[in-house]
Amino acid sequence: MFPIYEQGKGKGIGYNSQSFSERFDAICHEHLRQKRARAFAFIFYDFGDQKFRQVLKNQGVFAELDRLSGSDLSVFYLHSARRQTVDRFNAEFLKRLGVADDVRRPCVVFFRVKDKNIEDVAVAQLDSADLIHGFRELYGVIERYIKENLHKPPGEAMKNLRWFKGGTMFMSIEAFRALLKSALEKLL
């Protein structure tokens, strides 16, 4: 689990939004090379959903999800105290990933990186927002992705769960990096 902070250097684990945007491709390749991840995910949520925000803020939830994702999955999420920042970030990236019309928040967007390309973009909807049920659902979605999808070839993953495949199945990492930088510059 890697929070992306709106400003500053964060508190320990995580990235500030500017360094994340500038180094997105390097971060993914570092995680792959160092065997810290085989795939990646973003958690998108509605700023006004206080219950789901509490799920992501909870130290126990963070620790459990971090242990679960381990060296299989690097999970990123925006940590911001401003509604406008979260709303813009969500709208921009869901749209550009080709899934904005197909999903509602909260959701998890999974993807893989191969060479300099982003592949296999998929979205899992989340329904429960309170701390206990929201954690269990988020944990279950990530666990199922790791168990059922990381060992499958691209295009054969995401079966038998509320998965919505994104229209963008292939995107260069440079294009995604430029997208991140552009959106984050708009936020600042």
Q: What is the pLDDT along the chain (188 residues), one digit of tens a residue?
A: 777 665 544 454 566 555 666 677 788 899 999 999 999 998 988 888 888 888 888 888 888 989 999 999 999 888 777 888 788 778 776 776 667 777 778 889 898 888 877 778 888 888 866 677 888 888 999 998 998 888 776 656 554 444 544 444 445 555 566 666 666 676 66
CA distance 147 to 169: 21
CB 76 within 8 A of CB 42: yes
CA distance 74 to 159: 21
Q: Report which DSSP code applies to 153.
A: P
Give the strand pairing for 2-5 and 15-16: parallel
| Sign, CA torsion 65/68/70/74 | negative
What separation in angstroms does the CA of 113 have from each of 27, 71, 105? Answer: 11, 15, 24
- With tokens 């296999």, the residue in question is 120
CB 102 within 8 A of CB 123: yes
Report the predicted TM-score, pTM, of the whole model to 2 decimal places: 0.77
- Fold (CATH) for 2-187: Glutaredoxin (3.40.30)
Domain layout of the chain by residue ranges? 2-187
